Amino acid sequence: MQYTIKNKIFSIGAASTVKDEFGNDLFYVKGKFFSVTRKKFIQKMDKTTLYTVRNKFFNLLLPKVFVMDADGKVLFTIKKKKFFSLRQDFEIVPEPGQDFNFSISGDIIGRHYDLLDGGVPVAHVRRNFNIVQDSFMLETEDDERAPLFIAFVIAIDNYFDKLESSSD
C-alpha cells in the first residue's frame, strides 16, 4: 500500500495527515506548537498516540532522533551512519532489550530511501520538495508495521529539519 505524508510548512505545530493511496485519512502526525526538540506524535485518527518522535536536545556533530512507543519509552535512536558520506544512509540503534534490526539506505540527494529489516527491503520512501510543503510517499507490503515505518519517515524529516535549522 502507498501512504502519503504531507508536511505543511505553514502549519501551526507542524501537523500533517497520513493518507492512503485513495486519499483516505489513516493517521495524524501532531507536532508541538513550540518544541526545541521538534517533538511529534504519530496518532490514529481517534488521537490515540502510537509513537513519538523527537530530536536529541544537544548534538555535538550530527543530529540524533529518538523514536518512542506510546508510553514514552525510547525504542531506538536514528543517526547518520557516516559523518562524511555521499549517500544518505542511517543507522537505527535499538535500546537494550529491543529486537530491531532496521537500517535506512538513501541515495545521494536524499530523495529515495529504502527501509531495510535485516538487510531485506520492507519499504521504500520517496521525498518530494516544493515551496509550499514537503511530502513523503511510503510504499510497503507490510501494512501491519506501517505506523512504525511512518515514524521512521517522520524521524528522517526531523533529522533534516534539525540540520537546516542549525545552519541558520
pLDDT digits (tens, 9 = 90+) for 79-134: 887 665 566 788 889 988 888 789 999 888 778 999 999 999 999 999 887 666 67
Contact assessment for residue 53 and residue 43, using Cβ atoms and an 8 Å cutoff: no
- For 162, the domain range is 2-166
**Residues 6 or more apart from 161 whose CB is under 8 A from it?**
38
The CATH number of residue 103's host domain is 2.40.160.200
Label residue 64 by pLDDT band (50, 70, 90): confident
- Long-range CB pairs of 13-22 (<8 Å, 24+ gap) are 14/38, 14/40, 18/150
Look at residue 167 in the predicted model and tell me its pLDDT. 41
pLDDT at 31 over 90: no
* Cα–Cα nearest to 138, from 109, 120, 115: 115
Average pLDDT on 66-85 reads: 84
Question: What is the model's pTM?
Answer: 0.84
Residue 25 DSSP class: E
